[in-house]
Structures are given as C-alpha cells and as structure tokens.
Structure 1
C-alpha cells in the first residue's frame, strides 16, 4: 500500500458536530508530510480554507480498489506556482484498511446502560460498531431476545472527550460463551452524528490496538 501522487483524498473533520467532507488530491509527498491542493467542500462545491492544527480523518483508494483511512492534521501552507496545504502523514503501519462490511467492529470495553420496562442495568461491552454491540451479562436481566430496549453507550476518546450515544436497540440474541452470557444487540435509531462518533471511536481504538501490537513485537 502506498499513497501516490495524484491520489484523491476525502477529508472528514474528526472533532466537530458538523457533517462535512472535503475532496483534494496529493500534489507532493516529502517524508512525513503530504502536500494537497486546496480542497473542495463536497456540500457547497466551494474551495475550503483549512485552519492550521485542524484534525481530519483521510480516506483514499489504491489502484487495486482497496480503501484505507488515516488520522492527519493541517501543518501549514506552501507557496509557489501551486498553492498547497501541508498535512501530517502517519507511518504506513498506521493506515487502517477499511473492511468491506457495513460497519467495522472493534473489540474494546465500553460502558453500556440499558433501560427496559422501568428497570436500569449496567454492562460492559466486549465490542462495538456503528451497528450494534455485544455485552456481558453477569446477573439476571428482565429482557430477552427480540425485546426493544433503550441504550446509552459511553465513548471515551483519547483527547479527553466523552460522548454519550443514546439509541433504541433490539436484543438480537442471548447466548453462552466461555461460561459467560453474552447478548448481541443491534442499534435501531442512531442518528448520523452519533454514528460518526461511533465510527471515529472504533477507528481511534483500532489505531491504538495496532500501535500496541507493534510495540509488543
């Protein structure tokens, strides 16, 4: 996998409530810096002026149609015949390959609160995606397969932000694994902003897991 000159990038802000996307191309790459042309806002079709220090998630496709994403930050601008914006380029091992499935699921503990028929329960999830979660059930619960519940997921980000995702959900399946009851739950009414928060959280955790694995080698 290589980020080549001329590659089209889609940039999404990582720390904002606004649902924006910007299209640009890689003009030059020197060391750990990518130089891009001035991006176009895909909603307004107008040139965007990115602020130094702004953080984004970049997406691109390779010549073999594989999709990757990475975290980046605006470092500044470079003059010349072509005005360019400088972006931080992470090492190749920090590029995340995007799975073909609709939502990427990451194995990480997440605090989950569930309300069902007036009773409240606290759980720890073993994984989460923008489509659902799997929770460990250690004590008896009142809900069963097929029940609709009200769910809150607590997402702690590495920069200190904490997001509370509130959604209705369906208990898809309850089963036993390794002498532990597990409930598979599907989110049913998460809005676009909450889905973006979950996707960003999963991506961030993937990066952290990848770094930990590399450090253990």
Structure 2
C-alpha cells in the first residue's frame, strides 16, 4: 500500500549529527506526481519549528493506517515546487521494498551489536547480540556469568545507524530463556520490562534501517 494525499508521514532525516538524526519530524502529503510525493515542510513536534530540506537529503519514513499498521520506507528529496506554499518533492517508495508491521508487534532483525549487561549482585559483562527487536533481544555469552531464567538485568545497547551516527539504548529486561549451543556458548533470550518510549524508538529505528538494507540487496 502506497501513502495517499493527506496522509501524515513521520520520518528521521539522515545527518552526521547524532542529536539531529534522532529528531522525528512529520508532514502531510499535499499532492502526488508520477515519480514523487509532494509534502509540506517537516515539523518538529517538540519545538514547533519547521525543518529546511535540501536536494538529496535522505530520510527514513513511516506512515500509519487506520487500523494501526505501520509502513516503513526509505526516500530522499528530489525537488521542490511552489503551490501557494513551498512543497518538498520526495521519491515515491517502491512497494516491494516497504516494510509492514502489525500493531503491537515488533520486527526482529539479526544483528551483532555490543551489549553491556549488569546482573544485580553478580557484576557485569560485555557481549554481542544475536538478534534485536522492539520488544526484546537475544545475546550470546560464555559462562561463568551466573545468568538464569527470570533474572532482571540492566542493559546498555550500542546502536550504529546507517548515516554513521552512533547511539545507546538503556533498559531493564527479564531473561525469558537460556539455551546452550554446540559452540559452548549460551544464548539468552530477554524481553524488555522497563524501557522508555524514546529508548525503544532508537532500537526500532535501527531494526527498520537493517530491514530496508536487506531488501535493497
């Protein structure tokens, strides 16, 4: 499903500045042309200020259907148009490369990211994730760490984005299951039990960038 005129788009604009890349903007689709969508200038909801865009600016975009399903895609600025107000023209998404996510579900992607884990009363260790999602992750580690099912752990996850910026997400999680692998390592599957919306959004953003990267290969 492609977005239609009057649909509200939400997006992050690629930037080498970490704080700028983390800002979410929104704007309405004002018109449609054969090769592009004409959108109003993006608005930062927190500050109420509009964002000036330039030819070639890249963005990660999503829109939401009435039933709560989200559609994610990558786009970039391909031009501008004066129509009473100045509009920005962005590339139409390729339906085959869009990612669709049901309400209350979170995409999981395979990823080897650095994760710091702190177990209450048992110290801390650094390991690598096996997969990452908006509802939880799994990671690989070696004993002895004293980790067991139902443990509550504090975690700090390193998130490198495709624009070159790096961010961290912190959260409290519960160990759901531990599996011993043939390699001698163990795989811990954890679910988030205390994570802010902003921290979860950082992880979700990373997941969708990875998913779009796989689809573009």
Superposition TM-score, scaled by structure 2 size: 0.78
Residues 192 and 90 (structure 1 numbering): CA distance in 2 closer, same or farther, change over 3 Å? same
Of the candidates 85, 99, 107, which is equivalent to residue 88 of structure 2? 85
Q: Return the offset for 1:203.
A: 0.4
- Partner of residue 107 from structure 2, selected from 104, 109, 114: 104
Structure 1 residues 38, 112: CA separation in 2 closer, same or farther (over 3 Å shift)?
closer
Structure 1 range deviating more: 7-16 or 162-171: 7-16
The runs of 5 or more residues in structure 2 that have no matched partner are 15-19
Contact 1:34 1:89 in 2 (8 A): yes
Quickly say closer, same or farther: Cα 1:19–1:159, change in 2 above 3 A: closer
SS at 2:109 equivalent: coil
Query: What is residue 13 of structure 1 aligned with on the other side?
Result: 12
Aligned to 2:154: 150
Q: Comparing 141-150 with 81-90, which one deviates more in the overlay?
A: 81-90
| Paired residues, number | 209
State whether residues 7 and 60 of structure 1, in contact with CA within 8 Å, keep that contact through their aligned partners in structure 2: no
Tell me if 1:51 matches 2:53: yes
Distance 1:17 1:159 in 2: 8
SS of 1:194 mapped into structure 2: helix
Across the aligned residues of Structure 1 and Structure 2, the Cα RMSD in angstroms comes to 3.1
In structure 1, distance between residues paired with 2:139 and 2:209? 20
Structure 2 counterpart of 1:132 = 136
Partners of 2:125 and 2:80 in 1: CA distance: 51
Q: Any conservation in 2 of the 1:107–1:126 contact (CA below 8 Å)?
A: yes
Which of the numbers 65, 73, 77 marks the counterpart of 2:76? 73
Q: How does 1:158-169 map to 2 (within 5 A)?
A: 158-169=162-173
Deviates more, 1:67-76 or 1:9-18: 9-18
1:11–1:56 CA contact under 8 A, matched in 2:
no
**Higher RCO by CA contacts (8 Å cutoff, separation 6 or greater):** 2
Instruction: Classify the secondary structure of the residue corresponding to 1:106.
Output: strand
1:27 is matched with: 31
Q: Structure 1: which 5+ runs fail to align? A: 213-217
2:208 maps to 1:200: no
SS in 1 for 2:108: coil
Mark the CA change 1:153 to 1:66 in structure 2 (over 3 Å): closer, same or farther: closer
Partners of 2:101 and 2:60 in 1: how far apart? 13
Once the two structures are TM-superposed, the CA of residue 78 in structure 1 deviates from its matched residue by 0.5
Report if the CA contact (8 A) 1:34-1:88 is conserved.
Answer: yes
